[in-house]
Structure 1
Amino acid sequence: MSTDGSTATLLAALLKLRAELSGAALGLEIPGAQDGRDARQALVTQLDDYVLPRLVQQDAPLLAVVGGSTGAGKSTLVNSLIGRAVTESGVLRPTTRSAVLVHHPDDAEWFQPDRILPDLARTASQTNDARSLTLVAAHTVPRGLAILDAPDVDSVEESNRRLAGELLAAADLWLFVTSAARYADQVPWDYLREAADRSAAVAIVLDRTSTESMGEVRGHLARMLTARGLKDSPLFTVLESSVDSEGLLPPSAVAPILSWLHDLAGDPEVRAAVVAQTLDGAVRKIVFAAFDVADLVAEQGAVTASLVEDVDRAYTGAEAAFDKSVSDGTLMHGELAARWRDFVGGDMGRGVDDRMGRIRDRIVDSVRGRRTRVAEVQQALATNVELLLLEQAEAGAHAAYQAWEENQAGAALLRGGDRELERATRTVRARAERVSQDWVEACTEIVRSTGSERKTSARFLALGTHGAAITLAVAVLNELATREDAHHSGGAAARDLLAETFGDSSEHLLQTAKEDLLRRAGTVLVGERQRFYDALSRTAASPDAAASIRSAARSAEDARHRDLIPDDWDNLT
C-alpha cells in the first residue's frame, strides 16, 4: 500500500468504523444477537491486532504465523527453522502455553505491546498463560521477518482455539502446517477458507509425510487448495524424519521453506506486496462484515422501537386515565367531598349570594382563631390528586411490564435484573405528594394573577384568595362531570361560584389550572417511564447506530479503493 495521504484517509476511516462498531450495543436477546456480538468483537479485534497497527507501521517486519492442526509438528518446524529450541513441543494434549514470537534482535522494537497484539502480555520465557506472548530474539531470523508459533486451531481447549484465531488474524502471512493424517480435517480448512475469503497470503506445509505417500497426498492436497481458492499458495513438503537430540529436523528438510522466508525478508518490494495483499484483503473483509453487523444492529433497533412503543402506550394510557379522572368528578368523594360541602355551607341548593354570606362567616371565624376550613379542603384536594397519580403510576408500570413480558427481548431484560419495573418507583409517592401540594398552591397563584377589578369585587372578598383558589381546584375536578354528578359532589357549586366571582375569566382560569395540573403530573409519569428507557439504553443500540456503521463502512471502502495494491504476489511462488 502507498504511504501517502490515501493511507492516512483509510486509517481515519477505519478508526471511525471501529468507533461505530464498538459503540453499537447488541444487548437485546433476539435471534442472532450472540452471533452479532461475536462478529462485532472479531472485527474490532482484527482492527486492533492487525489492520490499524500495520497501516501505521507498514515498514514493520513481515509477521509469519505458523498455525495448523493438532500434532502437525508446528513447534518442531519452528524450532528447526530457527536452528534451536525456542518453543516447546506439546507432548501431552491438550497443552496450553503462551505463543512464541521469534524475531531478529534488531527488530525488537517492532513487537512492543503498543505495536501489535496489544492485549497479550509480553514475557521473556514461555508460560502456561494463553494471554501472553513470549518474545525471543534470534540472529538466525533475518531482519524484516518474524515467526510466530500459534496454538492448535483444533485444540480441545477453547482458550487455545481462541488464541490461534486471534494470532492468525494478526498475520501478514499464514504458514499453515498439516500432515498426511490431518490434512483433510474440517477445522483447519475452515481457517483456510477464511484466509481465501480475505485474500490473505498463505503458504502450506505438508509435514510428517512418508516418502511412499507423499506423491498421492500432495496431489490431493493441491486439488483441495485449488478448489478452495488457494491454488496460488506455495505448497511445501517435509518428509517424515527423525529429530536430533535437540528435537530439530535435519536442515535439508526445512531448507526450501527457510530459503523462501529469507527471500521474502530480503526483498522489500516483495515483502511490501505480501503485506499489501493481506492488509487489503483484511480491510475488504472487515468492510463487508461491518454491513452484516449493521443489519443485526438495525434488527435490534426495530425491536428497541417496539419496546419503546410498548412503554409509551402504557404511560400514555396512564396519562389519559389521569386526565379523565381529574376532570369527571371521580376525585370528589370521601374526605374531599365532605370538606368542600362544609366549606360552602352544606346545602348545595342555596343561592350564590347566600353561600357567599355563609363563607364570609367562616372566614370571620378563622380570624378569631378557629381552624380554617380552607386548609382542610386544600389537604383533601392534595390527597385525592396524589392517590390518583400514584394509581396511574402503578397502572403505567404494570402495563409496560406486561407488554415487555410478551416480547422475547423484553422478557430477557426483565429476567436480567429489571423485575422492579413491574411496580412504580419507591420515590414516586413523595413526588406525587409534592406535585399535588404544589398544584393546590399554584391555584392560589393563578387566582392572584387575575385582573385587579375581580379581586376587589364583593364576591372575591367574601371567598378570599385561598377560598377562590380551592373553588378553582374543585371546579377543575368537576369540569366534565354531569350536572347531576356535580351537584351531588358539590362541583356544580364550585363552577357557579367560580363563574359568579370571575365572570368571563373563569373559563380561562379553569383551563390554566387544569393544564398546570396535567403538566405537573406528566413530569412524574415521564420520570416513571424513563426507567424503561434506561433499561433499554444499557443494552440496545441507538436508533441511528446501523446507519452510522454503514456510512463508516462505505467511507472505509472508498478509501481502500484509493489505495493501490501492488500485484506482485505471483512473484512469490
Structure 2
Amino acid sequence: MTSDLGPRADRPVAGRPDPAVADELGMTVYDVARDLRRDVEDVRLPLPIDGAREAGASRGRLVAQLDEHLLPRLRELSSPAIVVVAGSTGAGKSTLYNSLLGEEVSKAGVLRPTTREPVLAFNPLDKEVVHEGPATEASRVVYHDGVPRGTALLDAPDLDSFLADNRTTAQQMLEAADLWLFVTTASRYGDALPWQALSRATERGASVAMVLNRVPTETLKTVRADLMLRLREHGMTDVPLFVVPDVGPHEGLLDPSVVQPVRRWLTLLAGPERSRAVIVRTLKGALGALPQWVTSLADAVDAQGEAAHTIRTVVEKERPAAEKLARDGVAAGVVAGASVEARWRELSGSAKVDRVKVKNDTVRSTRRAGRRREEALTGLRADVEAAAARTLTAAGGRVEERLRAVLTAPGAPAGGSAVLPDAAARTAAREKAVTATVEAWSARAADVVALLGDGDRVTAAVKAFGPHGLGTLLLAAAAGSDDAARLLGRTLGDAHADAVTALRDDLADRAAAVVGAELDAVLTALDTPNLADDAASGLRVRLSELKRLT
C-alpha cells in the first residue's frame, strides 16, 4: 500500500551535520564542502576563451553536485539511501520501478513522456529518519512496504525527454541520488546518452548499477558480452549488471521472477547500517572526485586571468601612439577649420571686430563698442567650441575603431571581443564627455585672460572686446585661427603668445584624455576580481583542504 507524505518541515539551509557524519567522515568535511560551494558559486568566466564554455558547464555541475547531494547528505547521513531509476525514453524504467514495488505507483505507458513528476518511495518504517532535501522537494513522496528499509526508490523523468523541464529535473534527481540504477535496452545501450550519463556518474564518484532491459533470448549472450566489454572500456568493471529478458508486448507489472535479481540486490542494500555504507561509499567517491574537478575549474580561472593580462598588454600598447596622435592634431593648429573661418569673415564684414584702432601699440575703443564686439564674438566662441568638440570626438572615434580592429581581427588576443563596449553606448558616452571637456576648456579662457595681468595694453584690449570676447579670440587662436592670432598680435603684442599656447596645450591634454578614456573603457571591463591574478586562490585553498581530507 502507499500513502502520501504529510506536511514537510522546512529544509535546513545551514548548521552542522548530525553525529553520524562526524563519526563517518569528520566534522571538517562538511565545513570544507560548504566553503567550496561558496567559492565555486563566486566563480565567473567572463572571457569566451577556449575551454571557458566547458568550464562554465562544469562549474554548474559542481554546484549542483554540492547542492543536490554532498551538502544535504553530509548534513543528514541517517536518511535512507536514494536509489534513482533513470534512463532514456521508452527504456521501461517506470514499469521496472512499479514491478520492484509490486504495485503501480509511478505511471507507465506508451505515451511519451510518461514520467512527468518524479516519484520517491520510502519504507513506512523509515518515516522518522526521512529528511527534507532536493529529492523530496521535487518529487511526489510516497511510503510503500515494497521498498527495502534503509533505501528509497526514485523514478526520475526521461533523461532525453523532449520537454526541457523534464530533462532538467532528471539531471537534478541524478545529482541528489546516492546510487544510480540506470535502465537501457538491448536496442539502445550503444546510444551516446547512456554513456554520457554513466560518465557523469563516474565523474562525481557515484555508485552505479545497470539494468539491460528487453533483451531477446536469442541475442542475450551476445548483447550481454558486448555491454560488459563496453563497461570495461569505460573503467566500470565493478558496475553490477542485471539483464531483464524481453517478455513481449504486455501491460502492467513484470512477473516477479523477472525482476527478482534486482529486488534481491536492493534488499542486500537494505537496513540502516548497510544502506549507510552505500551512502558513505558514494560520499567518499564524490569527495575523491572533487580535487580533479576543482583543479580544472581553478585552471580555467587562471586561464581567464592570463587572457585578461594579454588583452591589457595589447590595449596599453596602443596608448602612447593614440595620445600622441591626438595631441599632435591639436598642436598642428587645425582644430578651427572652415566653420570658424566662415564665421570670422562674417564678423569682419558685419561687426568689423578686426577693425579696431591701435595707437602707440594700444587699442583704442569705447566701452560701448567693446560690448558690441563682445556680443558679436559669442557666435565665434560657439563655432570654436563646436570645432573642438568635433576634433575630440573624431579622435576618440578613431581610437575606438582601432581597438575594435586590434581586438577582433585575426590574431587578436583570445576573449578580446568580449571586453569591447557597446558601440552605441560608447558613442553616447564619448559625446557627453567631450561636451563637458570642451565646456571646461572654454571656461578656462577666463582664467587665462586674468593671467594676462593689468597692464595698459591688456586693459585696453579688455575694454575693446570685453573679457569674454578677448577670451574668445584667445580660444580661436589656440584652435588655429590665423585671423584671431593676427588681431591679438596687433592689440596685445607678444603677450598673447603664452596665453594661446597655454590654451592650445590644455586642449591637447584634453584630447589625449578623450582617447585615453576609450582605452580605459576596455580596461575597465577587465578590472574585475574574476580576472585578477589571484582569482583562483580561494579554489586553490579549498583544493589543498580536499586533498588533506581525501
TM-score by structure 2 length?
0.74
Distance in 2 separating the partners of 1:155 and 1:371: 80
Instruction: Give CA-to-partner distance per residue, 1:302-346, whole Å, 9 cap, x none.
Output: 666666777777787665444223222213454645749969985
C-alpha contact 1:315 1:396 (8 A) present in aligned 2? no
**How far off is 1:361 after superposition?**
1.7
Q: 1:32 to 1:95 in 2, by over 3 A?
A: farther
**How far off is 1:64 after superposition?**
0.7
1:24 aligns with one of 32, 42, 45: 45
Q: 1:174 to 1:411 in 2, by over 3 A?
A: same
Where 2:362 maps in the other structure, the secondary structure is helix
Structure 1: which amino acid aligns with 2:458?
Answer: F
Work out which structure has the larger RCO, using CA pairs closer than 8 Å and 6 or more positions apart in sequence: 1
1:83-94 map, 5 Å: 83-92=102-111
Where 2:365 maps in the other structure, the secondary structure is helix
Cross-structure match for 1:563? 549
Percent same amino acid at aligned positions? 30
Structure 1: which amino acid aligns with 2:208?
Answer: V
RMSD: 4.6
Distance in 2 separating the partners of 1:470 and 1:546: 48
1:490-505 map, 5 Å: 491=485, 494=488, 500-501=494-495
1:72-151 map, 5 Å: 72-92=91-111, 95=114, 97-105=116-124, 107=127, 110=130, 112=132, 115-116=133-134, 122=138, 133-151=139-157
Cross-structure match for 1:288? 292
Cross-structure match for 1:381? 384
**How far off is 1:14 after superposition?**
1.7
2:398 aligns with one of 395, 398, 401: 395
2:78 aligns with one of 38, 53, 59: 59
Q: 1:7 to 1:36 in 2, by over 3 A?
A: closer
C-alpha contact 2:326 2:512 (8 A) present in aligned 1? no
**How far off is 1:84 after superposition?**
1.0
Cross-structure match for 2:13? none
Q: 1:198 to 1:546 in 2, by over 3 A?
A: farther
Q: 1:335 to 1:198 in 2, by over 3 A?
A: closer
**How far off is 1:173 after superposition?**
0.5
Distance in 1 separating the partners of 2:353 and 2:214: 109
Distance in 1 separating the partners of 2:404 and 2:233: 54
2:33 aligns with one of 11, 17, 35: 11
C-alpha contact 2:445 2:475 (8 A) present in aligned 1? yes
Distance in 1 separating the partners of 2:147 and 2:215: 26
Distance in 2 separating the partners of 1:257 and 1:282: 24
Distance in 1 separating the partners of 2:306 and 2:96: 52
Structure 1: which amino acid aligns with 2:116?
Answer: R
1:85-234 map, 5 Å: 85-92=104-111, 95=114, 97-105=116-124, 107=127, 110=130, 112=132, 115-116=133-134, 122=138, 133-153=139-159, 163-209=169-215, 218=224, 221-234=227-240
* Unaligned ranges ≥5, structure 2: 1-20
**How far off is 1:163 after superposition?**
4.5
C-alpha contact 2:324 2:512 (8 A) present in aligned 1? no
1:359-508 map, 5 Å: 360-361=364-365, 363=367, 365-366=369-370, 371-372=374-375, 375=378, 377-403=380-406, 406=409, 418=422, 420=424, 424-425=427-428, 432-448=434-450, 450=451, 455-464=453-462, 465-466=467-468, 469-470=471-472, 472-474=474-476, 476-477=478-479, 488-489=482-483, 491=485, 494=488, 500-501=494-495, 507=498
**How far off is 1:86 after superposition?**
1.0
Q: 1:543 to 1:555 in 2, by over 3 A?
A: closer
**How far off is 1:82 after superposition?**
1.7
Q: 1:456 to 1:69 in 2, by over 3 A?
A: closer
Distance in 2 separating the partners of 1:69 and 1:370: 88
- Residue 266 (1) aligns with residue 256 (2): no
C-alpha contact 2:123 2:148 (8 A) present in aligned 1? yes
C-alpha contact 1:13 1:555 (8 A) present in aligned 2? no
* Unaligned ranges ≥5, structure 1: 123-132, 479-485, 565-573
Distance in 2 separating the partners of 1:378 and 1:14: 63
Q: 1:412 to 1:93 in 2, by over 3 A?
A: farther
**How far off is 1:6 after superposition?**
1.3
Distance in 1 separating the partners of 2:283 and 2:360: 91
C-alpha contact 1:468 1:498 (8 A) present in aligned 2? no
**How far off is 1:370 after superposition?**
6.0
Q: 1:155 to 1:455 in 2, by over 3 A?
A: closer
Q: 1:250 to 1:392 in 2, by over 3 A?
A: same
Distance in 2 separating the partners of 1:241 and 1:432: 80
